[in-house]
Amino acid sequence: MEPTESMPAQTRPPGVATADPGSVLLPGHDVPLGRYTTVRRLLPQRTRRMVGAWCFVDHFGPDDVAQRPGMEVPPHPHTGLQTVTWLLDGEILHRDSLGSVQSIRPGQLNVMTSGHGIAHSERSPTVHPPLMHGLQLWVALPDPARAGAADFAHHAELPRWRDGDLDVTLLVGELAGERSPARVYTPLLGAQLALAGPGPVGLPLRRDFEYALLALDGAAEVDGVPLAPGALLWLGAGRDAFTVRGEPGTRLMLLGGTPFDEPLVMWWNFVGRSHEEIAAAREDWMAGRRFGVVAADPDPP
């Protein structure tokens, strides 16, 4: 990712969709990740840097990897953030400098908290499913968590329920009286929504949150705005609810949170507050300090 200037949280987008004065459609762009994977980067963009503390969203697949290695991302560093990994198809093996070695499969959640610094790698196993499809998201850590200890958690079981024609899986935060086991450091929400019927269906929202919806697969219409797979619809803040219509089987990711009020500088795999912090992180990584070694990974960093 290209370096960006210091960026305060945004509470309103600079442009709006005419069909809904509280929303703006963000199409994303393709970015190569590792040796064999191309992702659609949906955050950050010039018109929308963050949604709550969500500061980075990559959507990959669905890709046919039956005759290919799949994901191959060698050891690399992180600081100042959490990585949140969610799969719809496939399998990825996570290794990190804490000694964690953990496979993730569809319906499971990996949350890695970098704190002051951690290194990890992400790879498809040698024998892997033929399809790969999922999300890699980052959460900006506030003070003082961003200077704290690193951590990794795998959640095989998450809250799931049906609300009318809507199947909900809660990744992080709280929704409809349910709470995810994943630890977060600011008020935050991540939930997969799957349409079991044509709708309309909806969910209550918090007025102090800002929200966005990502189309994972299938065609949907959100409050009258068409949403195609691989696009992100910024819903804004101050909403009580939204409604969705679409084909049965359509899956969406709902992201939300209170506006993040600490300015950020993002460069490569680092989230900081100043150019000097980012430069120090890069220097430490190049010198073999701070981030540790992913000992279980055969490739060099």
Does the annotation list 78 as a binding residue?
Answer: yes
Q: Tell me if 49 sits within 8 A of 43, measured CB to CB.
A: yes
Count other C-beta atoms under 10 Å from residue 1's C-beta.
13
Is 122 marked as binding a ligand? yes
- Please indicate if the annotation marks 120 as binding a ligand: yes
Please state whether beta strands 251-257 and 210-217 pair in parallel, antiparallel, or not at all (unpaired): antiparallel
β-sheet bridge partners, residue 154: 110
CA-wise closest residue to 20 among 275, 253, 236: 236
For residue 264, what is the DSSP state?
B
128 annotated as ligand-binding: no
Task: Map residue 147 onto helix, strand or coil.
Answer: helix
CA 67 to chain centre: 27
Secondary structure (3-state) at 149: coil
Binding residues for Fe cation: 76, 78, 120, 122
Binding residues: 76, 78, 120, 122
